[in-house]
Amino acid sequence: MLYDREGFVEAADGTRLFYEVLGEGQPPVVLTDGIGCDGFAWRYLAPRLAKNHCVVHWHFRGHGRSGPPIDRDRMSIEDLTSDLRAICDHLEIERPVIAAHSMGVQVALEYYRQNPNDVAALALMCGTFGRITTTFHGTDLLDQILPSLIRGTHMFPSVARAVWGRVPAAIAFRVACAGRELDAERIQEEDFQRYWEHASLMDPDVFLRMLQRAGQHDARGFLADVDVPTLVVAAEHDTFTPMALAEEMAGAIPNAELEVIEGASHAAPVEQPDRIAERVEDFVASRLGLTRAPT
């Protein structure tokens, strides 16, 4: 998919942040990835939303075409939020709809907390309000082993780099489908391969540090203060962020709407993009008082 234009913005610590823009129309929609992604969730949604909106997609620091973090201590959800603010300021985006997937949901919520008057609406997909390392697959095992993994990458960086991403994409895809981590009937192996190849090329230290910091962030305390239209999209078979967390988040945010995508996995935006695009468009039009245009 080709975007209309692209560019770079310098973050507060000097890190180069990549963005790309597609379409035109108000309100603008800012697409925010999950960890390890450089657009995986938006491949099919972005062109559909761009029929009626200016769609902006950006890459986290250390992801995709953004540069590695200049300051490796700045990889928290708050730091990513600051990066998103730099993107919006550079593009002169006022009051966007922030559409977020997976860990990006935490970034979207934190952005709202810091900029409550500068958000038109939130579309939160397959994510939760925080502490993600304590809820992965419904357990806190990831939270327990992360410190050891990070120490290992520091002590043996060449080994970590050699081991990281060594599993071929085709094998990982078959395992994920067999374990119902993905909806095998709806996702294309090509799409998963794009995600896997990007994640395997990442610096493991960046990935693990960012994941650890995301596990320390928790937006639960201010969900009741969210005062913009919010759509929570949950996937029936999401093993990464169990659906109960989405239900809890939707129940805590005043007047939030919950949409459950039946049969879908954590990759729901890739598996069922037409349904999700239609739901997002209906939601934005109805809640913001806009004329509904066809997707």
188-216 pLDDT per residue, tens: 999 999 998 998 889 999 999 999 999 99
Q: Do 99 and 109 form a contact (C-beta atoms < 8 A)?
A: no
Per-residue pLDDT tens over the stretch 123-170: 999 999 998 888 877 777 777 877 787 777 766 676 566 667 777 888
Q: In angstroms, rounded to a whole number, what is the distance separating the alpha carbons of residues 191 and 278?
A: 21
Give ∠ CA 95-102-21 in degrees, rounded to 5.
Answer: 45
* Number of neighbours of residue 274 by Cβ within 10 angstroms: 11
Q: Do 181 and 188 form a contact (C-beta atoms < 8 A)?
A: no
C-alpha closest to that of 100 among 115, 91, 111: 111
Q: In angstroms, rounded to a whole number, what is the distance separating the alpha carbons of residues 72 and 213?
A: 12
C-alpha closest to that of 277 among 37, 50, 81: 50
**In this model, does residue 295 exceed pLDDT 80?**
no
Sheet of strand 16-22, all strands in order from the earlier edge strand to the far edge:
5-10, 16-22, 55-58, 29-32, 97-101, 121-125, 230-235, 257-261
Q: In angstroms, rounded to a whole number, what is the distance separating the alpha carbons of residues 88 and 118?
A: 10
Q: In angstroms, rounded to a whole number, what is the distance separating the alpha carbons of residues 10 and 288?
A: 32
Q: Do 56 and 62 form a contact (C-beta atoms < 8 A)?
A: no
Q: What is the pLDDT of residue 237?
A: 93
**Diameter of the chain by CA atoms?**
57
C-alpha closest to that of 227 among 100, 147, 128, 121: 121
Determine if the pTM surpasses 0.85.
yes
Confidence band of 292 (pLDDT split at 50, 70, 90): low
Q: In angstroms, rounded to a whole number, what is the distance separating the alpha carbons of residues 31 and 82?
A: 15
Q: What is the pLDDT of residue 172?
A: 84
**In this model, does residue 91 exceed pLDDT 90?**
yes
The CATH number of 5-288 is 3.40.50.1820
- Tokens 């990464």, residue located: 240
Task: Spell out the long-range contacts of 155-164 with Cβ–Cβ below 8 A and sequence spacing 24 or more.
Answer: 157/205, 160/204, 160/205, 161/203, 161/204, 164/200, 164/202, 164/204
Q: Is 162 exposed, middle or buried (0-12, 13-18, 19+ CB in 10 A)?
A: exposed
Per-residue pLDDT tens over the stretch 166-188: 778 888 888 888 877 898 889 99
Q: In angstroms, rounded to a whole number, what is the distance separating the alpha carbons of residues 194 and 182?
A: 15
- Tokens 């806190």, residue located: 140
